[in-house]
Amino acid sequence: MTTADPAVPMAGQRDRRPARVLARGLGVRHAGRLAWALRDVDLVVEPGERVLVTGASGAGKSTLLTAVAGLLDPDSAELTGELTVDGHPPRDRRSGLGLLAQDPDSQLVMTRAGDDVAFGLENAGVPAEQIWPRVDAALAAVGFRHGRDRPTQALSGGEKQRLVLAGALVRRPGLLLLDEPTAQLDPDGAALVRSAVAQATADRAVTVLVVDHDAGPWLPLVDRVVQVGPDGVVEHGPDWRPVPRTSGLQLPPGGDGPVLLAAHAAGWTYRGAAAPALPPTDVELRAGRAVAVTGRNGTGKSTLALLLAGLRAPTTGRVEAADELTAGARRREPHRWRAAELVTRIGTVFQQPEHQFLTGRLRDELALGPLRSGSGDAAARAMADELLERLGLAAFADVNPFTLSGGQQRRLSVATALATSPRVLVLDEPTFGQDAATWRELVQLLAERRAAGCAVAVVTHDADLVDVLADEELRL
Amino acid sequence: MTASLALGPTPDVPLSRVNPVAQLAAIVAVTVVLLTSLDVVTPAVVLAAELCLLPAAGLTSPRALWLRTWPLLFGAVMVGVVNVVLSRDAALVTGLGLALRVVALALPGVLLVAATDPVRLADALTVHWRLSTRFAYGALAALRLAPLLVVELESVRLARRTRGVDAGRNPVAHARLLAGIGFLLLVSAVRRGTRLATAMDARGFDSGIPRTNARGSTLHARDAVFVAGTVAVCALAVTTSVLTGAWDPIFVGG
């Protein structure tokens, strides 16, 4: 028994052919929204092609991918025009589909690497004796070296994504859809995933559709690039390169003011853990200066941000505010301040922006901080509207923050941190998921705050951000 | 960006070699016997046998044992004490018997959890007891993410502080804050669950094709021996109880 049973029509088949995707005048509108998420999309992807779909954040790239995957719920989205995979509605071609999304943790099912890859074959009814050879082949194809018994929770983000990719490819899909698969990874992890995609699809046995607003890194890998915009798609020529987001950026310079907040040999260890999450670290945040905290995942960058933001007490050393920042509060250590004292002194952008949202509308979300810290109603509204406008969120003023895309949520959380005009800003990956336009606006806003005398600490993997904004780099 | 805290595989211990369904069958036998006898001798004998299995489940260090059983021990002591104090004619030995019963009833569950990989449990239940694969593996995938909720709870609490929200010393504000955090956790769990379901269905979980099992789940002679041994221990416990004159079955009015 080495050949697949012909009665099993699904992923067990060996002669799976790469799929052809065709969209004509495709439009998608989500329930409850007036605007079309996508409209007038014409696109043909030939079998075996690798195509990158790029576009501004919120342009409908992910919606397009969800539609091609046949995963749009007809109850919550309205579809117009034509969309087929190999001439059939996408919903009927789901068995020939491989999907790699952003968040690795919500894509893994099993506790061991091999079991997870086998999951898709079990679902297709592939006989047990054929499963393990195929699992091993898929793991080898994506360059996964840890063996089948590796616990999935012990893997890095990049390794997890590689495993999810193996789990998709093992079913021999005709169409592989990648939805910003590197968005939550550090640069090393992102490179790992891209090389795995290149290696595993080199034989052109599968059509590949990648969605990413950050086009540059995918260019060596794809045959062509299409850009999704408000009026349909634009095909880019073979020589197209994205405009570097830093080009022509004119930022107001910082100054060199007094120290506002300083960490003295501050470190943090989880209760019961042997090694510290953050070894003792010194850093000074000065008015008018920006410090970038960089380094690989797991070196304690985010922990340092939590200490500086007054969210955790250091387990060794101390974090102290200077008199100028303390003024009015009884204590010098930010973690001892009451929340209301904290919010007017230190503005924080969190790793998970959606955890910071407290209201049901963007406008209320932005007005909340100023209102609580004693601004008048009119001033708070004006501040909210200005920030919404500048960060390209004005169209969503009455929308629930939880329904925004990841990149939009990140911008909103930066806006809420700026709204109370704190002297110190502690930002954990503020530029995550931003396209070129919103990235520039964000960087501009941060530079303006710095010029106005704010001390800025930014934890980031974003080399461009360090390049244009940081006055000082702390490598952990 | 964050360290993963998802549920991992259970390390292999000698008891892991007993098929999970055999362990469940043994638990049923023990439960039936203990729920029907009210004396102190029966649970004492059963408990002694269970304690002998602790090393086979890898629970050798007192610390590991304490971490897994303290809520159970606490509950057992409370049950015993409350019965002795509140019931006018209950002797000390009745309270002791009740406390032993609670421990002897719950300890097999502790053994099962310590020795059984969740994936193997799902395999065994779907292969041998025809449990719905959709339910078993769906629950497994959800369970894998449960520890993430603990991390999120802390994250949400800190995130609220960044927005100027804390409860201070006001208990009403504390309750309201907790309710808000609970709601947010629920929203976030539902969203992650939806993403997980999408990822699983994209790999054909909803295909409707009869699912195969790559690992399989085989019943061996040792599984029958394990169940038979458990039944023998239960019989021994009841016999000892009858012979010592302590036997007090629940069905006989007395």
Complex-level ipTM: 0.82
Q: State the nearest Cα–Cα gap between B7 and chain A, in angstroms.
A: 7
Over 60: is that where the pLDDT of B252 sits? Answer: no
Question: A224 - beta bridge partners?
Answer: A51
Instruction: Find which of A372-381, B132-141, B152-161 is predicted with most confidence, using mean pLDDT.
Output: B132-141
- What single-letter amino acid sits at B84? V
Q: What is the mean pLDDT of residues A427-441?
A: 86
Query: If we measure between CA atoms, which residue out of A55, A35, A53 comes closest to residue A44?
Result: A53
Interatomic CA distance for residues A157 and A141, integer angstroms = 18
Neighbours of B58 (CB within 10 A): 18
Nearest CA to A420 out of A359, A344, A326, A353 is that of A344
Partner residue facing A338 (CB), from B7, B155, B168: B168
- CA A373 to chain B, closest CA, distance in angstroms equals 9
Res A451 pLDDT > 50 = yes
pLDDT value of position A458:
95
Angle CA B42–B48–B49, to nearest 5? 95
- How close B139 gets to chain A, by Cα (Å)? 10
In the predicted model, what is the mean pLDDT of residues B68-91? 83
- Minimal-distance CA residue of chain A relative to B152: A355
**Residue B170: what residue type?**
N
Q: Which residues contact A289 (CB under 8 A, 6 or more apart)?
A: A254, A255, A256, A257, A450, A455, A456, A471, A472
**pLDDT higher than threshold 60 for residue A354:** yes
Query: Which of A73, A108, A355, A371 has the most B C-beta neighbours within 10 Å, making it the best mutation to test the interface with B?
Result: A355
pLDDT digits (tens, 9 = 90+) for A227-253: 998 788 899 988 889 888 888 888 998
Q: How many helices (H) and strands (E) does chain B have?
A: 8, 0
Average pLDDT over residues A334-343: 90
B6 and A108: CB-CB below 8 Å? yes
Contact B119 A110 (CB under 8 A): yes
pLDDT digits (tens, 9 = 90+) for B105-123: 999 999 998 888 889 999 9
Contact A355 B6 (CB under 8 A): no
- For residue A402, give the nearest of B8, B152, B187 by CB distance: B187
Residue of A236, A212, A229 lying closest to A39 (CA atoms): A229
Q: Please tell me which residue, A330 or B197, carries the higher pLDDT value.
A: B197
The predicted pLDDT at position A210 comes to 95
Q: What is the pLDDT of residues B153-179, one digit of tens each?
A: 888 888 888 888 887 777 888 888 888
Six token digits for residue A116: 């997870």
Q: What is the pLDDT of residues A8-34, one digit of tens each?
A: 444 444 457 899 999 999 999 888 777
Q: Dmax over Cα atoms in chain B, in whole Å?
A: 69
Asked which of A113-127, A162-176, A307-321, A350-364 is least confident by mean pLDDT, the reply is A350-364
pLDDT digits over A388-428, tens only? Answer: 998 888 888 998 888 887 778 888 999 999 888 899 999 99
Query: Does pLDDT of B50 surpass 70?
Result: yes
The alpha-carbon gap from A306 to the nearest alpha carbon of chain B, in Å, equals 9
pLDDT category of residue A358 using cuts at 50, 70 and 90? confident
The type of residue at B31 is T
Q: Return the higher-pLDDT residue of B85 and B49.
A: B49
CB within 8 Å: A358 and B204: no
In this prediction, residue B7 carries a pLDDT of 65
Is B160's CB within 8 Å of A356's CB? yes
* Interface touch B188/A122, C-beta < 8 Å: no
- pLDDT, position B88: 66
Planar angle of CA B73, B67, B147, nearest 5 degrees? 120
pLDDT given at position B89: 67
Nearest CA to CA, how far is B131 from chain A (Å)? 15
Chain A residues whose beta carbon lies within 8 Å of the beta carbon of residue B207: 10, 94-95, 123-124
Contact B202 A123 (CB under 8 A): no
pLDDT band per the 50, 70, 90 thresholds, residue A315: very high
Q: What is the pLDDT of residues B17-26, one digit of tens each?
A: 999 999 999 9
Which residues of chain B lie closer than 8 angstroms to A309, CB-CB? 162
Chain B environment of A344 (Cβ under 8 Å): 164
* Neighbour count for residue A243 (Cβ, 10 Å): 8
DSSP string for residues in A384-408: HHHHHHHTT-GGGTTS-GGGS-HHH
Identify the bridge partners of residue A424 per DSSP, sorted by sequence position: A346, A455
Instruction: Tell me what pLDDT residue A352 has.
Output: 80
